[in-house]
């Protein structure tokens, strides 16, 4: 169990992700943010529990629903918001956008529009860690839909075979866009697939930030000791559409309400209150501080320039000595 300060930080971390995503939804609806947007409202516990269990120099690979993962890993709200606006001051200079954010300075190696891409990138990162003997760990997030793609199996197999320091963390929110997990995953359990690769697999309540923190701490500990990868399936609920504007006709009407009843923020709040670590005014102060940070990030993004047309092709390609000679 994390100490009192860490618990309050986890609470504040989830509030930061929630308010950020809610603000982004408003800005998108108001036409301020362009493109196509997936948010993680309701899924804050997986992002924050996982990040809190990792070291600052550990790596994270993310998904198309990745804002919360970066916020939890310590990314700058200003640079993230500016990126969503497509501005030159964005974390990828406005050229990544919501689905291709990366911030190597905090170990966030990238969101990805290709489902399960993180599952095959993670063994590569793990191999680099192993060769450098740096004691780091890489955690890759992916969805239940991604777990039905080949790269999931390829990545888990290789990481298990070479005992790489990888944590595979599936955010099972019951839906791959409009496709129900229950109708598309043979056997039902994603965690159970770990047995086929001879690694630990665990199914946890992904709305419980402490359960996420505990499972990721154990998996990261194993990875750091050289004992190889683990697979965690965190059951969670997205409160909103798959993308902004999704009419959600495929979904039981009461599912979002179920998510709200299981609200990970309120749940940790009750634990903190019972332990005398949080009360109403303190929770209000946290919300106000976070809201002010987000206001500042929005002002920054609004007042930043768009990338210059002549820079259209900069920042797009890695520099390889053999090519740039
Ligand atoms: C290789 C690939 N196939 C299809 C898509 C289109 N697509 C985008 S999101 C999505 C569903 C993803 O579901 P899941 O992995 O459970 O993540 P969630 O959206 O629930 O977070 C699909 C099919 C894609 N981005 N990449």
DSSP 38-94: ---TT-HHHHHHHHHHS-TT-EEE--TT-HHHHHHHT--HHHHHHHHTT-TTSTTTT
Mutate which of 36, 41, 62, 115 for ligand 1? The one with the most ligand atoms within 8 Å of its CB, which is 115
Share of the chain above pLDDT 90, in %: 94
Q: Which of 46, 68, 111, 176 to mutate to test the pocket of ligand 1 (most atoms within 8 A of CB)?
A: 176
Which numbered atom of ligand 1 lies nearest the CA of 64?
A: 9
CA of 13 to the centre of ligand 1 (A): 26
CA distance 302 to 322: 39
Query: How would residue 319 be classed by pLDDT, with cut points 50, 70 and 90?
Result: confident
Distance (Å, whole) CA 179 – CA 242: 11
- Is 234:181 a contact under the CB 8 Å cutoff? no
Residue 322: the pLDDT is 77
The residue nearest atom 9 of ligand 1, judged by CA position, is: 177
Q: What is the mean pLDDT of residues 28-44?
A: 96
Which pLDDT belongs to residue 67? Answer: 98
Atom 11 of ligand 1, nearest CA residue: 176
Grade residue 124 by pLDDT with cuts at 50, 70 and 90.
Answer: very high
pLDDT of residue 320: 79
Ligand 1 centroid to residue 30 C-alpha, Å:
25
pLDDT at res. 325: 61
Phi, psi of 280 (to 5 degrees): -55, -55
Average pLDDT of every residue of the chain: 96
Q: Is 248 left (phi over 0), alpha (psi -120 to 50) or beta?
A: left
Distance 311 CA to ligand 1 centre (A): 31
* Rounded mean pLDDT, 227-241: 97
Q: Which of 49-58, 137-146, 191-200, 312-321 has the lowest mean pLDDT?
A: 312-321
Q: Which residue has the tokens 């966030």?
A: 108
> Residue 315 — very low, low, confident or very high, per pLDDT cuts 50/70/90?
confident
List all residues whose CB is within 6 A of at least one atom of ligand 1.
64-65, 113-115, 143-146, 173, 175-177, 242
Q: How far is the CA of 146 from the centre of ligand 1 (A)?
A: 6
How much is the pTM? Answer: 0.97
At residue 324, does pLDDT exceed 70? no
């Amino acid at each position: 169990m994390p100490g009192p300060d860490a618990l309050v930080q986890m609470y504040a971390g989830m509030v930061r992700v929630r308010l950020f995503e809610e603000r982004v939804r408003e800005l998108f609806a108001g036409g301020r943010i362009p493109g196509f947007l997936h948010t993680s409202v309701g899924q804050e516990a997986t992002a924050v529990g996982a990040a809190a269990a990792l070291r600052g120099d550990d790596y994270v690979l993310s998904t198309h629903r990745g804002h919360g993962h970066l916020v939890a890993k310590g990314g700058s709200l200003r640079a993230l918001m500016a990126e969503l606006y497509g501005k030159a001051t964005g974390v990828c200079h406005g050229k990544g956008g919501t689905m291709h954010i990366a911030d190597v300075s905090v170990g966030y190696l990238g969101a990805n529009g290709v489902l399960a891409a993180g599952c095959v990138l993670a063994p590569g990162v793990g191999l680099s860690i192993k060769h450098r003997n740096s004691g780091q760990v890489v955690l890759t997030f992916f969805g239940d839909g991604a777990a039905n793609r080949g790269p999931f199996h390829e990545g888990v197999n290789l990481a298990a075979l070479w005992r790489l320091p990888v944590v595979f963390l599936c955010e099972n929110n019951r839906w791959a866009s409009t496709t129900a997990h229950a109708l598309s995953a043979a056997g039902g359990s994603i965690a159970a697939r770990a047995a086929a690769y001879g690694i630990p697999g665990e199914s946890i309540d992904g709305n419980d930030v402490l359960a996420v923190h505990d499972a990721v701490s154990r998996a990261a500990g194993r990875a750091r000791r050289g004992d190889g990868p683990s697979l965690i399936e965190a059951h969670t609920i997205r409160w909103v559409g798959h993308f902004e504007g999704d009419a959600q006709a495929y979904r039981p009407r009461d599912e979002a309400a179920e998510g709200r009843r299981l609200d990970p923020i309120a749940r940790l709040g009750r634990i903190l209150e019972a332990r005398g670590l949080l009360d109403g005014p303190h929770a209000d102060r946290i919300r106000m501080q976070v809201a002010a940070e987000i206001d500042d990030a929005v002002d920054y993004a609004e007042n930043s320039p768009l990338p210059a047309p002549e820079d259209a092709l900069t920042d797009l390609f890695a520099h390889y000595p053999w090519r740039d000679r």
